[in-house]
Structures are given as structure tokens and as C-alpha cells.
A and B are shown apart, each in its own frame.
Chain A
Amino acid sequence: DAKTTQPTSMDCAEGRAANLPCNHSTISGNEYVYWYRQIHSQGPQYIIHGLKNNETNEMASLIITEDRKSSTLILPHATLRDTAVYYCIVRVGSGGSARQLTFGSGTQLTVLP
């Protein structure tokens, strides 16, 4: 699976959009971009994933560049409860084989009041 690079930490003002970048320049054609987050002391939580089209759900939006070498997770209106470590993971998507998630260090997002 392709490796990812994320900033170690970011701050965001409450109510503003939080934009979390991820670089995955070695991504392969059949690899998806997944985002998870881990709020302090809790288990990770799935947020969103995409292949090449932009995706949006009730939690966030995912913007993937046309060359797929980088992506941005957008939390449109960050709240204090969004303070967490955000993990960007690249891996093969659906299918019967167990493609385990490989977690890096992630980005510590701190939402400031």
C-alpha cells in the first residue's frame, strides 16, 4: 500500500472549515484514500473514503486532486468535538481479501474556541 505524508499538527477556529492535507504521491490506480479519526483515548472512527472523485457525507468532504497524488479532508464547520488525530490511509478498497489498515502518525487537529 502507498505511504502517506500528513502534517503533524494543525489548529482551526471553531466554526471555521478545517482543511487537512495528505500527500500520497505513490498511490496506485486501484488504491483508495481513506480517512479515520481518533478522539483522545477512543477507538478510531471511519470518516470517508474515495477513489478519484470528490466525496461528501454527513461528516466531511474529501477532495482528491486530478493526478490523485494528494487529497484534502474538509470539515466544513469545525466544533470542539472535532479535536482529534486524523489519519489518511491509502489501500486497495473493496474485495474479499483482508487488506488491513496501516496507520501512520496522523495529524493532530485542535479546534480552538
Chain B
Amino acid sequence: NAGVTQTPKFRVLKTGQSMTLLCAQDMNHEYMYWYRQDPGMGLRLIHYSVGEGTTAKGEVPDGYNVSRLKKQNFLLGLESAAPSQTSVYFCASSYLGGGSYGYTFGSGTRLTVV
């Protein structure tokens, strides 16, 4: 039981390049989330999904797109990376809203945009 797996773990991009971060969960969770964490700060929600085929904006969605084509996968895309998107990205999943069992987080993707 792997929980939440994020790939890649590290990436360096040049300004203007694009990339996709993959999040996969094997817990049959309905809800999935993408957060970013800048140095010394708490996590901020980028986008989330309440089920296959659905997505919604979080607190800081600009510059990102997401897709949830399969229940177990949640993809985060950067179409044209900017230095301000240098951050650690965490994916999480939860059973429904995560009330009774909490969220399960992945180990993060460390992205640097130069």
C-alpha cells in the first residue's frame, strides 16, 4: 500500500518551459488536492477535485491547470513556468472531505524555475 505517490521528486525548469506533475493514490479516495509550499510558509491550495472528471480552483490557481481523468490520478500542469512557481508541491487525497480520517499527503515535488 503506497498511499500517495508523486512524480517526479525533483525538477529544474527554465522560464517558459512546461511540465506535468503526477499524483497517484491507491486508497480509492474520492477527493484529491494540490498544494504548494514556499519557504517558511504554510501550504496553500492550488486546485482540488471531488471526483473523477471534476476539478475546482483553490486559493492560488493562476498559472496552473489540472486534470482528473482517472480516479486514482490527479495531474498538475504548468504551461509556461515562471520563477514565482519555484516551490515544493504536495499532493493529497482524502475519503470524501477528509473529515473523519484526515488527508494523506505525498512526499512532495521540489520544483525550481530558473
Interface check B92, CB cutoff 8 A: yes
Interface check A96, CB cutoff 8 A: yes
Known A43-B105, A45-B105, A98-B50: A105·B41 in contact at CB below 8 Å: yes
Interchain CB contact (< 8 A) of A97 among B88, B97, B102: B97
- Comparing A11-19, A73-81, A87-95, the segment that makes contact with chain B is A87-95
Interface size class of B (residues with CB under 8 A): 20 to 34
Interface size class of A (residues with CB under 8 A): 20 to 34
Chain A residue, CB-CB nearest to B104: A46
Task: Report B41 CB to chain A, min CB distance, Å.
Answer: 7
Q: Which residues of B contact A92 (CB under 8 A)?
A: 97, 99
Q: Which residues of A contact B108 (CB under 8 A)?
A: 41-43
- A residues with a Cβ closer than 8 A to B are 32, 34, 36, 41-46, 49, 87, 92-106
- B residues with a Cβ closer than 8 A to A are 4, 31, 33, 35, 41-45, 48, 50, 56, 58-59, 88, 90, 92, 96-108
